[in-house]
Amino acid sequence: MPEFLIESLDDPRLNPYRELKRKGARDARPVIAEGEKLVRRMLEGPCTVKSLLCTAAARDRLRAVTPPHVCVYLASAPLISRLVGFRFHRGVLACGSRPAAVGIGSLCGKTTSERESLLVLCPELRDPTNLGTIIRTAVAFGARGLVAGAAGVDPYSRRVLRTSMGAVFRVPIVQTDDWGAVLDALHAAGFETVAAVVDPSSPPLAALPRLRRTAVLFGNEDRGLPAALARRCTRQVMLPMAGGVDSLNVAVAAGIILHHFAQCSRVSPRPEPE
């Protein structure tokens, strides 16, 4: 575990950590975890961690779980705050590479040996808080994988990581915009695809029978699911609501629906991330 003392903001070794709010090409962005809890989960997950930027106190707490190849950059808390552009109290950041890309075929293959499976599909979520919450909820209710639209928010962005409390490291995530191919692969693998819609003519959630393999689709925050995509699903479902309320926040709706399918399918839930 090589250690280096950082005393200047101009040190080029800090480049991956500069201006965490700055945007750039998705594939070129490193994965940055903030805070000891997220860093520990990142060290345990599929990302290859390249370096830590931390105070000496945080270094001491993480020493036992930091692999020997990871560079540790020691800096003062004020210097880290100036670097990232906001007051930083979490003591440590980690920088790593993105997990290897996986396709929908790999995800279907991962579930073929399981008696019952639950997958989550989010074609075009735009709010990182919503996506992070849905990922955390999906893991809590036993989902075996998630498919996120490449046109939507980056599932490995810092806000999604933080909102999901590191759950992004605990579930395979496919990123694609070829939703026709996704549905074809799921149907061929024996999945029922269930579109969550705001349509009074659709069956209420409670009326759906037990489904052996379920893939649930959640729509965009403003427009919901595209009608053509919803029609290609094998089923549609709605949440009945009292008069005057036509929809719920997508993350709230996802929590209700995924809990229902987890209970109906008896998918063994994983412990919810803290």
Taking the C-alpha atoms of residue 95 and residue 86, their distance in angstroms, rounded to an integer, is 18
pTM above 0.85, yes or no: yes
**pLDDT at 42 exceeding the cut of 90:** yes
Greatest alpha-carbon pair distance for the chain in Å reads 64
**pLDDT at 89 exceeding the cut of 80:** no
Four-way CATH pick for 3-96: 3.30.1330.30, 1.20.1630.10, 2.30.30.110, 3.40.50.300: 3.30.1330.30
Q: In the prediction, which pLDDT does 267 show?
A: 45
**pLDDT at 62 exceeding the cut of 60:** yes
Span 90-119, average pLDDT: 81
Q: Strands (DSSP E) along the chain, which ranges? A: 3-5, 31-34, 49-54, 71-74, 92-96, 117-122, 145-149, 173-176, 192-196, 213-217, 235-237
- 245 vs 163, higher pLDDT: 163
CATH fold, domain 104-265, is Alpha/beta knot (3.40.1280)
At residue 218, what is the residue type? F
Q: In the prediction, which pLDDT does 20 show?
A: 64
Confidence of residue 208 (pLDDT cuts 50, 70, 90): confident
Q: pLDDT tens, 237-260?
A: 999 888 777 788 999 999 999 999
Closest CA relative to residue 255, chosen from 234, 242, 272:
272
| Summary mean pLDDT of the chain | 88
CB 193 within 8 A of CB 215: yes
Confidence of residue 167 (pLDDT cuts 50, 70, 90): very high
CB 186 within 8 A of CB 104: yes
Same fold yes or no, 3-96 and 104-265: no
**pLDDT at 24 exceeding the cut of 60:** no
Confidence of residue 139 (pLDDT cuts 50, 70, 90): very high
Every domain of the chain and the residues it spans: 3-96, 104-265
